[in-house]
Amino acid sequence: MGGLLGWSELMLALLLIFSMQTGSGSVNAAGPPDCSYIRTFSSNGASGVYSIQPEGFRFSFEAYCEIGENGIWTVIQKHTGGAVDFDREWAAYKNGFGFPSWDHWLGLEKISAMTKDKSKRWKLRVDLWDFEGGSAYAEYEDFRVEDESTNYRLSVGRYSGTAGDAIRGAYPGVDQNGYGFSTFDHDSDGCDPCIFGDIAINACTDFDSGGWWYSKCGSASLNGEWHPKGNNIGWSSGLHWLTWKGPAPYSAKATRMMITPM
Protein backbone atom coordinates (compact mmCIF):
# COMPACT_ATOMS: atom_id res chain seq x y z
CA MET A 1 0.00 0.00 0.00
CA GLY A 2 2.82 2.35 0.97
CA GLY A 3 4.54 1.57 -2.32
CA LEU A 4 1.35 2.31 -4.26
CA LEU A 5 0.92 5.67 -2.54
CA GLY A 6 4.53 6.51 -3.28
CA TRP A 7 3.97 5.72 -6.94
CA SER A 8 0.82 7.89 -7.19
CA GLU A 9 2.61 10.73 -5.41
CA LEU A 10 5.45 10.46 -7.89
CA MET A 11 2.97 10.56 -10.79
CA LEU A 12 1.27 13.62 -9.26
CA ALA A 13 4.64 15.35 -8.87
CA LEU A 14 5.52 14.54 -12.51
CA LEU A 15 2.12 15.85 -13.64
CA LEU A 16 2.64 19.06 -11.67
CA ILE A 17 6.10 19.56 -13.16
CA PHE A 18 4.74 18.85 -16.65
CA SER A 19 1.83 21.26 -16.28
CA MET A 20 4.15 23.97 -14.93
CA GLN A 21 6.44 23.52 -17.94
CA THR A 22 3.64 23.60 -20.50
CA GLY A 23 1.63 26.18 -18.62
CA SER A 24 -1.54 24.29 -19.52
CA GLY A 25 -2.37 22.98 -16.08
CA SER A 26 -4.03 24.44 -13.06
CA VAL A 27 -0.80 25.57 -11.40
CA ASN A 28 -1.34 29.29 -11.26
CA ALA A 29 2.10 30.84 -11.25
CA ALA A 30 1.88 34.58 -11.94
CA GLY A 31 3.52 34.09 -15.33
CA PRO A 32 4.95 36.61 -17.75
CA PRO A 33 3.22 39.93 -18.57
CA ASP A 34 2.27 38.75 -22.06
CA CYS A 35 2.87 35.82 -24.40
CA SER A 36 6.00 37.29 -26.03
CA TYR A 37 7.95 36.22 -22.91
CA ILE A 38 6.98 32.53 -22.91
CA ARG A 39 10.22 31.27 -24.48
CA THR A 40 12.06 32.80 -21.52
CA PHE A 41 9.63 31.30 -19.01
CA SER A 42 9.19 27.89 -20.62
CA SER A 43 12.07 25.99 -22.22
CA ASN A 44 9.73 23.96 -24.45
CA GLY A 45 7.51 26.93 -25.40
CA ALA A 46 4.88 25.92 -27.93
CA SER A 47 1.57 27.50 -28.98
CA GLY A 48 -1.03 26.89 -26.29
CA VAL A 49 -2.72 28.24 -23.18
CA TYR A 50 -0.44 30.00 -20.68
CA SER A 51 -0.96 31.96 -17.51
CA ILE A 52 0.02 35.62 -17.93
CA GLN A 53 -0.19 38.71 -15.73
CA PRO A 54 0.27 42.17 -17.28
CA GLU A 55 2.21 44.65 -15.17
CA GLY A 56 -0.09 46.31 -12.62
CA PHE A 57 -2.93 43.84 -13.27
CA ARG A 58 -4.35 42.42 -10.06
CA PHE A 59 -4.43 38.73 -11.00
CA SER A 60 -3.05 36.26 -13.52
CA PHE A 61 -5.26 34.72 -16.18
CA GLU A 62 -5.08 32.22 -19.01
CA ALA A 63 -4.45 33.37 -22.57
CA TYR A 64 -3.70 31.53 -25.80
CA CYS A 65 -0.14 32.18 -27.00
CA GLU A 66 0.33 31.77 -30.75
CA ILE A 67 3.90 31.21 -31.87
CA GLY A 68 3.96 32.66 -35.38
CA GLU A 69 6.59 33.29 -38.02
CA ASN A 70 6.92 36.90 -36.93
CA GLY A 71 6.63 36.75 -33.18
CA ILE A 72 4.78 35.27 -30.24
CA TRP A 73 1.28 36.69 -30.04
CA THR A 74 -1.30 36.98 -27.26
CA VAL A 75 -4.67 36.00 -28.75
CA ILE A 76 -7.43 38.42 -27.71
CA GLN A 77 -10.29 37.04 -29.83
CA LYS A 78 -11.12 33.83 -31.67
CA HIS A 79 -14.49 33.17 -33.31
CA THR A 80 -14.94 29.98 -35.33
CA GLY A 81 -18.53 28.91 -34.76
CA GLY A 82 -21.84 29.57 -33.06
CA ALA A 83 -21.40 27.56 -29.86
CA VAL A 84 -19.96 30.41 -27.78
CA ASP A 85 -22.47 33.27 -27.62
CA PHE A 86 -20.87 36.64 -28.49
CA ASP A 87 -24.08 38.68 -28.02
CA ARG A 88 -23.25 39.67 -24.45
CA GLU A 89 -23.45 42.61 -22.09
CA TRP A 90 -20.82 45.19 -21.14
CA ALA A 91 -19.61 43.25 -18.08
CA ALA A 92 -18.92 40.17 -20.21
CA TYR A 93 -16.92 42.15 -22.79
CA LYS A 94 -15.12 43.93 -19.94
CA ASN A 95 -14.09 40.73 -18.16
CA GLY A 96 -13.89 38.26 -21.06
CA PHE A 97 -15.76 35.06 -21.93
CA GLY A 98 -15.37 31.74 -23.72
CA PHE A 99 -12.39 29.39 -23.68
CA PRO A 100 -8.79 30.56 -24.37
CA SER A 101 -8.05 27.34 -26.28
CA TRP A 102 -11.15 27.84 -28.45
CA ASP A 103 -13.66 30.62 -29.13
CA HIS A 104 -13.32 33.55 -26.75
CA TRP A 105 -12.97 37.25 -26.06
CA LEU A 106 -10.07 37.88 -23.69
CA GLY A 107 -11.68 40.94 -22.11
CA LEU A 108 -11.32 44.71 -22.50
CA GLU A 109 -9.90 45.19 -18.99
CA LYS A 110 -7.07 42.75 -19.78
CA ILE A 111 -6.43 44.12 -23.28
CA SER A 112 -6.36 47.65 -21.88
CA ALA A 113 -4.01 46.64 -19.05
CA MET A 114 -1.58 45.27 -21.63
CA THR A 115 -1.73 48.13 -24.15
CA LYS A 116 -2.73 51.40 -22.43
CA ASP A 117 0.79 52.35 -21.31
CA LYS A 118 1.95 54.74 -24.04
CA SER A 119 5.65 53.97 -23.43
CA LYS A 120 5.17 50.55 -25.06
CA ARG A 121 4.10 49.91 -28.65
CA TRP A 122 1.87 46.98 -29.69
CA LYS A 123 0.94 45.46 -33.01
CA LEU A 124 -2.53 44.03 -33.72
CA ARG A 125 -3.00 41.23 -36.24
CA VAL A 126 -6.45 40.28 -37.50
CA ASP A 127 -6.73 36.94 -39.34
CA LEU A 128 -9.80 36.13 -41.44
CA TRP A 129 -10.81 32.82 -43.04
CA ASP A 130 -13.58 32.36 -45.61
CA PHE A 131 -15.67 29.29 -46.48
CA GLU A 132 -13.90 28.81 -49.82
CA GLY A 133 -10.45 27.97 -48.42
CA GLY A 134 -9.14 31.52 -48.57
CA SER A 135 -7.74 33.79 -45.88
CA ALA A 136 -6.56 37.36 -45.43
CA TYR A 137 -5.04 39.47 -42.69
CA ALA A 138 -4.78 43.03 -41.45
CA GLU A 139 -2.02 44.35 -39.21
CA TYR A 140 -1.99 47.63 -37.34
CA GLU A 141 0.97 49.29 -35.67
CA ASP A 142 0.45 51.14 -32.38
CA PHE A 143 -2.67 49.26 -31.29
CA ARG A 144 -3.99 50.59 -27.99
CA VAL A 145 -7.14 50.23 -25.91
CA GLU A 146 -7.56 52.90 -23.24
CA ASP A 147 -9.26 52.32 -19.90
CA GLU A 148 -12.97 52.02 -19.05
CA SER A 149 -13.36 55.78 -18.43
CA THR A 150 -12.96 56.22 -22.21
CA ASN A 151 -15.27 53.28 -23.01
CA TYR A 152 -12.08 51.36 -23.88
CA ARG A 153 -11.31 53.70 -26.78
CA LEU A 154 -9.51 52.01 -29.68
CA SER A 155 -6.51 53.49 -31.40
CA VAL A 156 -4.59 51.99 -34.30
CA GLY A 157 -1.67 53.29 -36.34
CA ARG A 158 -0.32 52.29 -39.75
CA TYR A 159 -2.22 49.50 -41.53
CA SER A 160 -0.68 46.75 -43.67
CA GLY A 161 -2.08 43.48 -44.98
CA THR A 162 -4.32 41.84 -47.55
CA ALA A 163 -7.79 42.34 -46.03
CA GLY A 164 -7.97 46.13 -46.28
CA ASP A 165 -8.31 48.66 -43.49
CA ALA A 166 -11.88 48.00 -42.36
CA ILE A 167 -11.32 49.73 -39.00
CA ARG A 168 -10.89 53.06 -40.80
CA GLY A 169 -13.70 51.93 -43.01
CA ALA A 170 -14.91 51.13 -46.49
CA TYR A 171 -17.08 54.28 -46.46
CA PRO A 172 -16.46 57.91 -45.44
CA GLY A 173 -17.51 58.94 -41.94
CA VAL A 174 -17.43 55.52 -40.26
CA ASP A 175 -13.86 55.48 -38.87
CA GLN A 176 -13.72 53.18 -35.80
CA ASN A 177 -10.22 54.40 -34.91
CA GLY A 178 -10.56 56.63 -31.83
CA TYR A 179 -14.00 55.24 -30.92
CA GLY A 180 -15.21 53.66 -27.70
CA PHE A 181 -16.64 50.16 -27.33
CA SER A 182 -20.38 49.44 -27.43
CA THR A 183 -22.55 46.58 -26.23
CA PHE A 184 -26.35 46.32 -26.19
CA ASP A 185 -26.39 47.72 -22.65
CA HIS A 186 -23.64 50.33 -23.18
CA ASP A 187 -24.05 52.48 -26.29
CA SER A 188 -21.24 54.75 -27.49
CA ASP A 189 -21.67 54.17 -31.22
CA GLY A 190 -22.40 57.72 -32.45
CA CYS A 191 -25.89 56.78 -33.74
CA ASP A 192 -28.89 58.60 -32.34
CA PRO A 193 -30.02 57.62 -34.90
CA CYS A 194 -27.86 56.76 -37.93
CA ILE A 195 -29.76 56.75 -41.21
CA PHE A 196 -28.94 54.00 -43.71
CA GLY A 197 -31.17 54.42 -46.75
CA ASP A 198 -34.65 54.40 -45.27
CA ILE A 199 -33.62 52.64 -42.06
CA ALA A 200 -32.94 54.60 -38.85
CA ILE A 201 -30.70 52.81 -36.36
CA ASN A 202 -30.17 53.95 -32.77
CA ALA A 203 -27.87 51.13 -31.69
CA CYS A 204 -25.42 49.32 -33.97
CA THR A 205 -25.61 46.31 -31.64
CA ASP A 206 -29.29 45.85 -32.66
CA PHE A 207 -28.17 45.59 -36.26
CA ASP A 208 -24.64 44.14 -36.21
CA SER A 209 -24.87 42.16 -32.93
CA GLY A 210 -22.06 41.51 -30.41
CA GLY A 211 -19.79 44.14 -28.85
CA TRP A 212 -17.38 46.24 -30.90
CA TRP A 213 -15.85 49.69 -31.37
CA TYR A 214 -18.87 50.64 -33.45
CA SER A 215 -18.68 54.08 -35.04
CA LYS A 216 -21.86 54.80 -36.96
CA CYS A 217 -21.68 51.01 -37.09
CA GLY A 218 -18.76 50.90 -39.56
CA SER A 219 -17.26 48.16 -41.70
CA ALA A 220 -15.37 45.99 -39.18
CA SER A 221 -17.37 43.76 -36.81
CA LEU A 222 -15.92 40.42 -35.72
CA ASN A 223 -18.01 39.70 -32.62
CA GLY A 224 -21.35 39.44 -34.41
CA GLU A 225 -23.43 36.34 -34.87
CA TRP A 226 -21.66 33.45 -36.62
CA HIS A 227 -23.38 32.11 -39.75
CA PRO A 228 -22.75 28.71 -41.39
CA LYS A 229 -21.53 28.08 -44.94
CA GLY A 230 -24.13 28.76 -47.60
CA ASN A 231 -26.09 31.01 -45.25
CA ASN A 232 -23.32 33.51 -44.55
CA ILE A 233 -23.93 36.33 -47.05
CA GLY A 234 -26.30 39.25 -46.56
CA TRP A 235 -26.67 39.17 -42.77
CA SER A 236 -26.14 42.46 -40.97
CA SER A 237 -25.19 40.46 -37.87
CA GLY A 238 -22.23 38.47 -39.24
CA LEU A 239 -18.44 38.48 -38.78
CA HIS A 240 -17.70 41.33 -41.16
CA TRP A 241 -14.58 42.93 -42.60
CA LEU A 242 -16.14 44.79 -45.49
CA THR A 243 -12.87 45.95 -47.10
CA TRP A 244 -12.13 42.23 -47.54
CA LYS A 245 -15.50 41.03 -48.80
CA GLY A 246 -18.33 43.42 -49.53
CA PRO A 247 -20.46 45.38 -50.09
CA ALA A 248 -22.99 42.52 -49.58
CA PRO A 249 -21.99 41.57 -46.02
CA TYR A 250 -19.95 38.35 -46.06
CA SER A 251 -19.75 36.61 -42.68
CA ALA A 252 -16.34 34.96 -42.20
CA LYS A 253 -15.88 31.28 -41.35
CA ALA A 254 -13.36 32.19 -38.65
CA THR A 255 -11.62 35.20 -37.18
CA ARG A 256 -8.72 35.74 -34.81
CA MET A 257 -7.27 38.87 -33.23
CA MET A 258 -3.88 38.85 -31.51
CA ILE A 259 -1.28 41.32 -30.26
CA THR A 260 2.47 41.44 -29.71
CA PRO A 261 4.90 44.15 -28.56
CA MET A 262 6.52 46.04 -31.46
Given the rule CB under 5 A, which residues bind Ca ion? 187, 189, 191-192, 203
Toward Ca ion, which CB reaches closer, 111 or 203? 203
Mention every residue, 6+ apart, whose C-beta is less than 8 A from residue 107. 93, 94, 95, 96, 97
Q: How far is the CB of 205 from Ca ion (least distance, A)?
A: 9
Residue placing its CB nearer to Ca ion in the complex, 9 or 192: 192
Nearest Cα neighbor of 126 from 173, 163, 87 is 163
Q: Which is nearer to Ca ion, 191 or 259 (CB)?
A: 191
Query: Measured on CA atoms in the order 87, 217, 188, 62, is the torsion positive or negative?
Result: positive
For the CB of residue 24, give the shortest distance to Ca ion in the complex, in Å: 41
Contact of 226 with 247, CB cutoff 8 Å? no
What are φ and ψ of residue 93, in 5° steps?
Answer: -70, -30
Contacts for 224 with CB less than 8 Å, ≥ 6 apart? 86, 208, 209, 210, 212, 235, 237, 238, 239, 240, 251
Instruction: Identify which of residues 203 and 259 has a Cβ nearer to Ca ion in the complex.
Output: 203
Shortest Cβ distance from residue 137 to Ca ion (Å)?
30
Q: Which is nearer to Ca ion, 128 or 191 (CB)?
A: 191
**Rounded Cα gap, residues 24 and 49, in angstroms:** 6
Q: Minimum distance from CB of 166 to Ca ion (Å)?
A: 20
Q: Which of 244, 234, 235, 184 is nearest to 214 (CA)?
A: 184
Q: How far is the CB of 77 from Ca ion (least distance, A)?
A: 23
Could you tell me the smallest distance in angstroms from the CB atom of residue 113 to Ca ion? 27
Of 76 and 191, which has the nearer Cβ to Ca ion? 191
